[in-house]
Amino acid sequence: MVDCVIKDWQGQDAGQATLDLKVAKEETAAHIVHRALVRQQNNARQGTASTKTRAEVRGGGRKPWRQKGTGRARAGSIRSPLWRGGGVIFGPKPRDFSVKMNRKERRLALRTAFQGRLDDMVVVQEFAEQLPRPKTKDLLDAIARWGIDPSGKILMITDEVDDNVYLSARNISNVKLIAAIHLNIYDLLAADSVVVTAAALEKIQEVYSD
C-alpha cells in the first residue's frame, strides 16, 4: 500500500490517495513485464508482408534460350530468383505473430508496471471542468505547475476521456491521453512522466485488482 499526494489544477496539494495493488515478486517482476510488453508489440503486428516465389511470378514458362551452344549460362526461366523480376527466395509470407499470455499474468504485469512508475507519477484532481473549451496552452501550463517537464513524453490517464481535454491534448505531440480502462504496458513504459487523475486511480484499482 502506497500513499500518493493529490494535486489540484494550480499544482497545490489537495489530499491523499492510496494505491494498493498486488504486484509480482521483485525477482520475477522484470521477466513478467517484459513478456507482456513483447506480447503487446507482437500482437500489434499486421503480419501482411508478402512476396512471390518463382511459381507465383507471372511468365517464365518458356526456356529463354537453348541449353547449349550459346556461350551463356544455362537458364530455364526468366522468373528465376537469380534474375531481375524473378521470384524471391525465402521471402516473407502472411503470418500471425500473436503471442498468448494468461489473463492473470497480463493483469499482474500491468499492475507491476503501473506501480513501478510511482516515482514518475503525479496524481491530480479531475480537471475537465477547468477546460470549459479546448485550450492547449492552459493544459500545458497545468502540466508545468504539476512539476512535469512539458518537453518529455507524458501519459495522461483519466477516468473517462472528456472532449475538451482530448481536444486540448491532441495538439501536443508528446502527450498521450487514454482512459483508465485502456491502460497498457507499452504506454506505461514509453512515457517519461505519468499523470493520473484520482478517479482514474480508483478505476485502475477496481478494474485490474484481480
Residue 209: per-residue pLDDT: 77
Collapsing DSSP to helix, strand or coil, 7 comes out as strand
82 and 64 Cβ atoms separated by less than 8 Å = no
- Per the structure block, which three cell numbers stand in for 147? 512539476
The strand ranges marked E within the chain are 2-7, 13-19, 121-124, 154-158, 175-179, 193-197
168 and 138 Cβ atoms separated by less than 8 Å = yes
160 and 179 Cβ atoms separated by less than 8 Å = yes
Residue 3: per-residue pLDDT: 79
- Between CA 148 and CA 21 the distance in angstroms is 24
Q: pLDDT tens across 48-77, in order? A: 999 999 999 999 899 999 999 999 999 999
CATH tag for 2-44+99-207 (out of 3.90.1150.10, 3.40.50.1470, 3.40.1370.10, 3.90.190.20):
3.40.1370.10
- Between CA 114 and CA 7 the distance in angstroms is 19
Instruction: Supply the mean pLDDT for the chain.
Output: 91
Q: Delimit the CATH 3.40.1370.10 region(s) of the chain.
A: 2-44+99-207
- Sign of the four-CA dihedral 42, 48, 54, 55: positive
Collapsing DSSP to helix, strand or coil, 163 comes out as helix
Residue 84: per-residue pLDDT: 93
Q: What is the mean pLDDT of each run of 10 residues along the chain (210 residues)?
A: 84 82 89 95 95 94 94 94 94 94 92 90 89 90 90 91 90 92 93 91 85
